[in-house]
């Protein structure tokens, strides 16, 4: 059961990130008709908007991976990173010449950083509800 949960932590996290990115396409198409359509390179501001969505989804994916992992969340996060970078390199190769090159390279750089941030969110110490971080002035 632990092996299944280990595999699920990586696969589910990747599917969630991929799903959010894919679901954002119709939303961007709705709000920017004629600019975000198949077969046409979107304007730069929309490429940065999709990158911001990808970054937020990657943070969520990193957090989710460490939450689902049965043990050693860092190893699972590293596995998710490796899977994502390998697929990212594949998609970069497939889309070469169709999209600006910088866009693929930015996504390849954003992926590990945002996964790491998501992993940090999971591991951050939490205060008990009765403890306030603000100390009263005496």
Report whether 93 contacts 41 (CB < 8 A).
Answer: no
State the Cα–Cα distance between residues 115 and 136, nearest whole angstrom: 36
Percent of all residues in the chain with a pLDDT value above 90, rounded to a whole number: 59
Among 13-22, 54-63, 122-131, name the one with the lowest average pLDDT: 122-131
The residue that leads in pLDDT, 114 or 138, is 114
Which among 110, 90, 113, 93 is positioned nearest to 101, based on CA atoms? Answer: 93
CB atoms < 10 A from the CB of 46, how many?
A: 16
State the Cα–Cα distance between residues 51 and 108, nearest whole angstrom: 11
At 28, which helix (H) or strand (E)?
Answer: helix 2-31
User: pTM value?
Assistant: 0.83
Mean pLDDT, the chain, rounded, equals 87
Among 18-22, 59-63, 77-81, 128-132, name the one with the lowest average pLDDT: 128-132
Q: At 136, is the pLDDT very low, low, confident or very high (cuts 50, 70, 90)?
A: low
- Does the CA dihedral 57-58-59-63 come out positive or negative? positive
Distance between start and end Cα atoms, the chain: 54
Q: What is the pLDDT of residues 25-81, one digit of tens each?
A: 899 989 998 887 777 888 999 999 999 999 999 999 999 999 998 888 889 999 999
Query: Which pLDDT value is given to residue 46?
Result: 92
Query: Which pLDDT value is given to residue 67?
Result: 92
Look at phi and psi of residue 72 and say left if phi exceeds 0, alpha if psi is from -120 to 50, else beta: left
């Amino acid at each position: 059961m632990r092996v299944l949960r280990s595999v699920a932590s990586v696969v589910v996290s990747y599917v969630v990130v991929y799903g959010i990115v894919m679901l954002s396409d119709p939303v961007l198409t709705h709000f920017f008709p004629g600019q975000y359509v198949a077969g046409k390179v979107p304007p730069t501001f929309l490429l940065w908007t999709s990158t911001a969505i990808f970054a937020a989804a990657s943070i969520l994916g990193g957090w989710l991976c460490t939450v689902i992992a049965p043990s050693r969340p860092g190893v699972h996060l590293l596995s998710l990173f490796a899977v994502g970078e390998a697929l990212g390199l594949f998609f970069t190769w497939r889309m070469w010449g169709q999209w600006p090159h910088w866009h693929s390279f930015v996504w390849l750089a954003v992926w590990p950083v945002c996964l790491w941030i998501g992993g940090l969110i999971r591991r951050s110490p939490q205060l008990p509800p009765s403890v306030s971080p603000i100390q009263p002035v005496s």
